[in-house]
Amino acid sequence: MYDPTEATKPSRHAERVSYDEASVHEILDEALVCHVGFVADDRPQVLPMLFVRVGSTVFLHGSTGARMARMAARRGGLEVVVEVSIVDALVLARSAFNHSANYRAVVAHGTATLVQDAGDKEEFLTALMEKVAPGRAGDARRPTQAELCQTAVMALPLIEVSAKIRTGPPSDEPGDLSLEHWAGLVPIREVRGTPEPAPDLAPGITLPAYLQPMTEVRGGA
């Protein structure tokens, strides 16, 4: 279990919040993109980033030339908030007010620091490739030293973190249950489609077994 803090205690719908480690990790492992918030030049910034969880740490993938990495390098770390969300269904109620969504979300606060060791950096980049497409890390050229120098990996320990989850049908008011409006759930699922070869792919290279078929479903009510 993660310990609640002032930053992770909700102001609304406390019943939806979870500090359960397994629930937090499951959501982080399923989501492909996170949004990272930080302050630069006295203005809030939000960036979408690929990421991977290894143990109790989230590793963010970026560029050493990007503002976020440069600020972290200068300061020895950067205060950030990381958010991921997965929408499992649209919740259509009888009243406009009670429309909602079924979702699973994680928010983590903390100080992200740059991973400096080249070996560690390559290890976490390999973990990211395996998250995106299991089996891919062994089927691609390893990064060169120059490429590793251009790639930023930032580590955020999961300390101040919580999940928020909504499930179930619409929550209509008792007086609205007799209204003649359809109510229920519209499931939303992320499905991986059929891989499309690059136009300059050399003749004779067939689709790897680990991509056949690429029909994994993510999410769902």
The whole model's pTM is what? 0.90
Whether pLDDT at 143 is above 80: yes
Q: Which residue has the tokens 């077994």?
A: 209
Whether pLDDT at 192 is above 90: no
Tell me the Cα Rg of the chain.
21
Instruction: Give residue 221's pLDDT.
Output: 46
User: What are the CA-CA distances from residue 175 to residues 94, 182, 185 (Å)?
Assistant: 10, 15, 20
Task: Report yes or no on 1 lying in a domain.
Answer: no
Task: State the residue range of the domain holding 29.
Answer: 14-219
Summarize the confidence of residues 116-132 as an average pLDDT.
95
Which of 16, 10, 18 is closest to 162 using CA atoms?
18
Instruction: Give residue 15's pLDDT.
Output: 87
Contacts of 144 (CB under 8 A, 6+ apart): none
Q: What is the CATH number of the domain that holds 18?
A: 2.30.110.10
For residues 187 and 87, the answer to whether their CB atoms sit within 8 Å is: no
Q: Return the percentage of the chain with pLDDT > 70, whole number.
A: 96
Mean pLDDT, the chain, integer:
93
pLDDT, one tens digit per residue, over 153-187 is 999 999 999 999 999 999 999 999 999 999 999 99
Task: Report yes or no on 8 lying in a domain.
Answer: no
Whether pLDDT at 217 is above 80: no
Whether pLDDT at 215 is above 70: no
Summarize the confidence of residues 93-107 as an average pLDDT.
97
3-state secondary structure of 109: strand
Task: Report yes or no on 112 lying in a domain.
Answer: yes
Convert 178-198 to b/e letters by CB count within 10 Å (16 or more is b). eeeeebebeebeeeeeeeeee
Counted domains in the chain: 1
Instruction: Give residue 10's pLDDT.
Output: 80
Q: Which amino acid is at 192?
A: R
User: What are the CA-CA distances from residue 35 to residues 95, 119, 173, 191 (Å)?
Assistant: 31, 26, 34, 21
